[in-house]
């Protein structure tokens, strides 16, 4: 009964989140389609497009011109790319509480990198907060780099990204305890043995017992789904 309740609620939340994300995606598509079409005589090769994507998107070349903010943007971008793996893991636990990504999920190094980029995201958020507090338009007026910007949505986005990270670590910490990942001879969920930050949270949650950790893992995973949808659509 518990399995079916969890499954139905998870799927309903997924439908709602996909609806929100789809609406935002449609808006962005229409925004892009409203631009001027490329000149008929202009030709761009697939190699040039791939090079531009690698340097401008993956490499964040333009943003890295500003060292501090650029590095923070780089950390958040790649943090979310890597943390997409945790989204897959979280969704799959609706069907199998011991799910791991095939092949790479058998190695603790995966959990290490997932937690590392989660903490890099938190560090980047802290940097963004400091920058925004130092460059407030109400103090510097037109001299502020944020003059005329929509500051409310920006603060909300930072807040929701932070919520994505802390709920991730809480869910994984509770999962480590609930699934007894660190038990002698355990071979399941091997990637979580390398998730150093999640292991630290697990140590704090261990005195609460297996049942409470299982409840915490499920509830924090649901909360994380909501935070993910809000942060990606804001």
What one-character-per-residue DSSP string does 156-221 give? Answer: HHHHHHHHHHHHHHHHHHHHHHHTTTTSTT--TTGGGGG-HHHHHHHHHHGGG-HHHHHHHHHHHH
Q: How far, in Å, CA of 176 to CA of 92, rounded? A: 16
pLDDT at 138: 66
Interval 128-144: pLDDT, tens: 888 877 777 666 655 56
Interval 17-46: pLDDT, tens: 778 778 878 888 888 788 777 666 666 677
Interval 45-60: pLDDT, tens: 777 777 777 777 777 7
Distance of CA 32 to the CA centre of its chain: 24
The residue length of the chain stands at 234
Interval 5-23: pLDDT, tens: 767 777 787 787 778 778 8
Residue 61 has pLDDT above 60, yes or no: yes
Average pLDDT, the chain: 80
Say how many Å lie between the first and final Cα of the chain, rounded. 35
């Amino acid at each position: 009964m518990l399995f079916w309740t969890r499954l139905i609620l998870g799927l309903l939340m997924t439908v709602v989140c996909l609806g929100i994300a789809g609406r935002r995606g449609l808006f962005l598509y229409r925004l892009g389609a409203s631009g001027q079409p490329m000149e008929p005589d202009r030709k761009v090769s697939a190699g040039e497009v791939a090079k531009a994507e690698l340097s401008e998107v993956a490499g964040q070349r333009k943003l890295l011109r500003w060292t501090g903010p650029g590095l923070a943007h780089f950390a958040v971008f790649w943090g979310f790319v890597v943390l997409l793996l945790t989204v897959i893991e979280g969704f799959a636990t609706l069907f199998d509480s011991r799910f791991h990504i095939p092949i790479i999920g058998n190695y603790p190094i995966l959990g290490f990198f997932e937690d590392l980029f989660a903490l890099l995201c938190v560090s980047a958020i802290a940097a963004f907060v400091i920058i925004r507090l130092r460059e407030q338009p109400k103090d510097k007026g037109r001299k502020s780099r944020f003059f005329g910007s929509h500051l409310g949505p920006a603060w909300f986005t930072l807040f929701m990204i932070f919520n994505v990270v802390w709920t991730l670590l809480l869910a994984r910490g509770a999962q480590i305890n609930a699934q007894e990942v660190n038990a002698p001879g355990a071979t399941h969920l091997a990637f979580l043995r390398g998730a150093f930050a999640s292991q630290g949270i697990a140590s704090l949650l261990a005195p609460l017992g297996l049942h409470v950790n299982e409840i915490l893992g499920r509830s924090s995973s649901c909360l994380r789904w909501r935070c993910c949808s809000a942060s990606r659509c804001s």
